[in-house]
Amino acid sequence: MEIKTVMLIVSCLLITACSNEGCKDPIIDDVRFADSIHYDNSDFYLYTRTTGWNDKAVYFELYAEKPTLDQCNQSEIKPIYDVVYDDYPETRYVKEIHLQMGQPEKLNIVYTTNKNEGIENVYDVKFTR
């Protein structure tokens, strides 16, 4: 019983130690800039957002202007489009990402199961030019 109590206390300390100063959220999303593209006299910004603690989910977020992130990795502006990069029964790799502003789905993402045709690390994605 004492071991379980100690493990619980240590886990709580580790969770709170990982949070950024000034942020009350115990688990902070990991947000990374991926790429930008110039289209029709405007710049668009692609970010990845990883949420969750145990079961992580990765999202691609598209912004019409460069976001500023606070200490909790939240932006003052909303993405104009976001889509989840799901885990599937087979591993999938991003092969291409196309901006398609005239469509409801602003990002056209082409996947492949062939590691040699796609990008192995989801955080290394770039717009296909």
User: pLDDT per position in the chain (129 positions), as tens?
Assistant: 576 654 555 555 455 444 446 788 788 999 999 999 999 999 999 999 999 888 889 999 999 999 999 999 999 999 999 999 976 667 889 999 999 999 999 999 999 999 999 999 999 999 998
Half-sphere exposure of 52 (CA within 13 A, CB side): 8
What 3-state class would DSSP assign to 13?
A: helix
Sole residue written with tokens 């886990």: 11
Report the predicted TM-score, pTM, of the whole model to 2 decimal places.
0.80
**96 domain-assigned:** yes
What 3-state class would DSSP assign to 15?
A: helix
For residues 45 and 118, what is the distance between their CA atoms, to the nearest angstrom?
Answer: 21
Domain count, the chain: 1
**129 domain-assigned:** no
**Strand pairing report for 107-112 and 81-85:** unpaired
Question: Domain range for residue 119?
Answer: 2-124
- pLDDT value of position 56: 85
Half-sphere exposure of 93 (CA within 13 A, CB side): 12
**Lookup: tokens for 120:** 């192995």
**37 domain-assigned:** yes
**78 domain-assigned:** yes
Cβ(76)–Cβ(60) below 8 Å: no
